[in-house]
Amino acid sequence: MIRARVWFRCAAMHDPVQPVLVRPARIGWRAKFRQVDLTIERPFTGEELVQRMRGWITVDPREFSRLVQSCEGRLKVFDDGGLVVETEGEGELTALQTALAENFGDQVDLEVMVKGRRTKAFHPVEQNPEKTPRRGAFFMPPLLPISYCAS
């Protein structure tokens, strides 16, 4: 099983962007004759997440999904909420990358995820000793895990 992160081009800024599920969809009911207090939280599937990107990315989400399925890949929402493509082997992944390059050019990229390597959490500003912020520039220190704050 090979997983690869999906990077689209943002329609507004033309930067590589990855759709991320921030929190599950919350579904409730409105009853005609009584109050219904039941809600269900359910995360989107990879297919649903891609379909919601229509207009925000430079490619047609339906065409992208069709290509992924034709190359025997599956769209999934990974543990960190990011969109990934799963294939059974390198042959399917190579075929998918070739098909994406032929149909979309540089508008879609796949980044292969290395098994066993933890992904780096997103921080608004990376700490880099060589790059210090300008005087008067906005600087936000990296977030600390909750375990540091509790003690």
pLDDT digits (tens, 9 = 90+) for 1-42: 899 999 999 998 889 999 998 888 888 888 889 888 888 888
CB 72 within 8 A of CB 91: no
| pLDDT at 117 (0 to 100) | 59
Question: Which residues are CB-contacts of 133 (< 8 A; sequence separation ≥ 6)?
Answer: 125, 139
Task: Specify burial of residue 87 (Cβ count, 10 A radius: 0-12, 13-18, 19+).
Answer: buried
Higher pLDDT, 42 or 62: 62
Model confidence at 44: pLDDT above 50: yes
pLDDT bin (cut points 50, 70, 90) of residue 46 is: very high
Q: How many CB atoms lie within 10 A of CB 65?
A: 16
| pLDDT at 83 (0 to 100) | 94
Q: How many CB atoms lie within 10 A of CB 99?
A: 17
Model confidence at 143: pLDDT above 80: no
pLDDT bin (cut points 50, 70, 90) of residue 43 is: confident
pLDDT digits (tens, 9 = 90+) for 66-116: 999 999 999 999 888 899 999 998 999 999 999 999 999 999 999 998 876
Distance in angstroms (rounded) separating the CA atoms of residues 113 and 77: 14
Higher pLDDT, 1 or 128: 1
| pLDDT at 110 (0 to 100) | 93
